[in-house]
């Protein structure tokens, strides 16, 4: 059960103190506080865990300081979409709003190789009106002999260049909780010129200790990828780990499933799950066409498969596109064959805009149909 308290209530308010005293007296019930910073209000939500079956929704709604009560199903208590659940589903980080109703493209380098390529990438993004990017510093590689990423050594120049070109959010995979500290230190050292979204890669979707560590911090939002060999339910539970620890600023990414059934694509594209995740949870949904398709293959109509599947995800309502670009793919240290070229950036963005407009028209058509 979730109690949504009156906006901007403070821990010193008489009503808050009374409420907490009462909740503390309920046998077998634990109260966990979640603070949600909205655009206008500070919201406090109290998650009641344990023996909540006997609690009456109407009675709980009458408690001091309580504005609304949601009885949640067992699954995805924090991130789930429950019956009668009107909790907000968006958050703003470093001036950029993320929600189930808008769309951002995160085009960038799969792996940071050198400052020249980072600068060329950032410059192209700025020229095309973009404020988000992806930059891989810590790379989880199949082979121990493959390039593992420059790690903390590249962070200062990546952050400085982001600031120089007006980039507000960089999604960056971390593979160990110590990387959070390294990122914080590098941001501090460079004067916080940009923001970072911590990325949990598909290989770490069920690394529960990493999830707990990332969930315990509130400074950075999180992009969690679907595990490539587990069920959707298992991956959504992994996302819930982050939220249950206190960080509900979570975006869920589809990136294809590992099975030969998807050949010749690198992974079986699973973007038909965009509406499913939207129905089950309140998380914004990201699609990663690059790691799904894994190549620049194209059809006789000149459209690359990467762009076809991007359009398929966007027309289904995706809220974020994570896509590999590189100024010189043949020299890229990781995933060059799937990277798009900088000159393809405006073309890619236009193609995404066409698909987004089609999605918005479809929504209107559906709303008109319901209303008729
Ligand atoms: C990535 O986005 O760089 C990446 C490694 O993706 P995934 O975890 O989906 O394989
Ligand atoms: Mn990659």
Q: Could you tell me if 143 and 64 lie in one domain?
A: no
CA distance 202 to 140: 10
Q: Could you tell me if 47 and 141 lie in one domain?
A: no
Domain count along the chain: 2
Is residue 34 pLDDT above 90, yes or no?
Answer: no
End position of a domain, from candidates 14, 41, 72: 72
User: Is 270 part of a structural domain of the chain?
Assistant: yes
Instruction: Quote the domain boundaries for residue 38.
Output: 2-72
**pLDDT of 37:** 72
Going by alpha carbons, the residue nearest to atom 8 of ligand 1 is 201
**pLDDT of 277:** 97
Report the greatest alpha carbon distance in the chain: 69
**3-state secondary structure (DSSP) of residue 15:** helix
Does any ligand 1 atom lie closer than 6 A to the CB of residue 255? yes
Q: Could you tell me if 204 and 344 lie in one domain?
A: yes
User: Is 81 part of a structural domain of the chain?
Assistant: no
The CATH number of residue 8's host domain is 3.30.70
End position of a domain, from candidates 72, 106, 128: 72
What would the mean pLDDT of 40-60 be, rounded to a whole number? 88
- Answer whether 267's CB lies under 8 Å from 256's CB: yes
pLDDT in tens, 185-244: 999 999 999 999 999 999 999 999 999 999 999 999 999 999 999 999 999 999 999 999
Give the DSSP H/E element, type plus range, for residue 324. Answer: strand 320-324
Q: Could you tell me if 354 and 237 lie in one domain?
A: yes
What would the mean pLDDT of 289-316 be, rounded to a whole number? 97
User: Is 187 part of a structural domain of the chain?
Assistant: yes
Our mutation pick for probing the ligand 1 site, out of 227, 270, 291, counting the most ligand atoms within 8 A of Cβ, is 291
Q: In the 8-state DSSP scheme, what is residue 322?
A: E
Nearest of 277, 234, 230, 237 to residue 253 by alpha carbon: 277
The CATH number of residue 277's host domain is 3.20.20.70
Q: What angle do CA 245, 168, 92 make, to 5 degrees?
A: 45
Our mutation pick for probing the ligand 1 site, out of 225, 229, 332, counting the most ligand atoms within 8 A of Cβ, is 225
Is residue 53 pLDDT above 80, yes or no?
Answer: yes
Does any ligand 1 atom lie closer than 6 A to the CB of residue 226? no
Nearest of 123, 112, 209 to residue 165 by alpha carbon: 123
The DSSP result for 115-162, as a single string, is HHHHHHHHHHHHHTT--EEEB-SS---SSTTS----GGGGHHHHHHHH
End position of a domain, from candidates 41, 72, 103: 72
- Answer whether 169's CB lies under 8 Å from 98's CB: no
The DSSP result for 21-85, as a single string, is HHHHTSTTEEEEEEEEE-SS-EEEEEEEEES-TT--HHHHHTSTTEEEEEPPPSSSTTTB--TT-
Q: Could you tell me if 223 and 289 lie in one domain?
A: yes
Nearest of 200, 282, 224, 251 to residue 96 by alpha carbon: 251
Does any ligand 1 atom lie closer than 6 A to the CB of residue 77? no
Does any ligand 1 atom lie closer than 6 A to the CB of residue 266? no
Q: Could you tell me if 11 and 117 lie in one domain?
A: no
Q: Could you tell me if 35 and 67 lie in one domain?
A: yes
User: Is 162 part of a structural domain of the chain?
Assistant: yes
At 77, is the pLDDT very low, low, confident or very high (cuts 50, 70, 90)?
confident
pLDDT in tens, 124-174: 999 999 999 999 999 999 999 999 999 999 999 999 999 999 999 999 999
Q: Could you tell me if 64 and 164 lie in one domain?
A: no
User: Is 86 part of a structural domain of the chain?
Assistant: no
- Answer whether 227's CB lies under 8 Å from 234's CB: yes
Higher pLDDT, 111 or 43: 111
Is residue 38 pLDDT above 80, yes or no?
Answer: no
Q: Could you tell me if 37 and 115 lie in one domain?
A: no
Share of the chain above pLDDT 90, in %: 87
pLDDT in tens, 304-319: 999 999 999 999 999 9
Q: Could you tell me if 32 and 101 lie in one domain?
A: no
- Answer whether 86's CB lies under 8 Å from 253's CB: no
Q: Could you tell me if 56 and 116 lie in one domain?
A: no
Q: Half-sphere exposure of residue 145, counting CA atoms within 13 Å on the CB side?
A: 0
Q: Could you tell me if 43 and 106 lie in one domain?
A: no
**H and E: helices and strands count for the chain:** 11, 14
């Amino acid at each position: 059960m979730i109690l949504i308290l009156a906006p901007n209530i403070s821990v010193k308010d008489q009503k808050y103190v009374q409420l907490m005293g009462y909740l503390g007296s309920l046998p077998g019930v634990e109260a966990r506080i979640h603070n949600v910073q909205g655009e206008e209000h500070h919201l406090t939500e109290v998650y009641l865990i344990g023996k909540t079956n006997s609690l009456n929704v109407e009675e709980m709604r009458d408690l001091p300081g309580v504005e609304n009560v949601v009885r949640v199903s067992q699954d995805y208590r924090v991130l789930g979409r429950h019956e009668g659940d009107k909790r907000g589903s968006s958050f703003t980080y470093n001036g950029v709003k993320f929600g189930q109703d808008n769309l951002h493209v995160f085009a960038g380098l799969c792996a940071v190789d050198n400052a020249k390529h980072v600068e060329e990438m950032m410059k192209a993004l700025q020229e095309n009106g973009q404020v988000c990017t992806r930059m891989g510093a810590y790379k989880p590689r199949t082979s121990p002999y493959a390039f593992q990423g420059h790690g903390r050594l590249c962070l200062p120049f990546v952050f400085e260049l982001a600031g120089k070109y007006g980039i507000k959010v960089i999604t960056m995979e971390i593979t160990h909780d110590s990387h959070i500290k390294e990122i914080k230190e590098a941001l501090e050292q460079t004067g916080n010129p940009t923001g970072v979204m911590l990325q949990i890669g598909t290989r770490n979707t069920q690394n529960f200790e990493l999830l707990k560590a990332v969930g315990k911090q509130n400074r950075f939002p999180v992009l969690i990828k679907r595990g490539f060999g587990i069920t959707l339910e298992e991956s959504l539970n992994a996302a819930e780990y982050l939220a249950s620890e206190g960080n509900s600023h979570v975006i869920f990414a589809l990136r294809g499933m590992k099975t030969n059934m998807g050949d010749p694509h690198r992974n079986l594209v699973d973007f038909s799950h965009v509406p499913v995740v939207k129905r089950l949870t309140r998380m914004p949904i990201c699609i990663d066409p690059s790691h799904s398709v894994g190549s620049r293959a194209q059809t006789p109509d000149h459209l690359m498969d990467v762009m076809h599947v991007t359009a398929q995800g966007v027309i289904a309502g995706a809220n974020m596109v994570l896509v590999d670009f590189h100024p010189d793919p043949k020299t890229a240290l990781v995933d060059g064959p799937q990277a798009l070229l900088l000159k393809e950036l405006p073309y890619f963005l236009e193609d995404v805009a066409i698909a987004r407009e089609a999605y918005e028209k479809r929504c209107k058509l559906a709303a008109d149909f319901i209303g008729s």
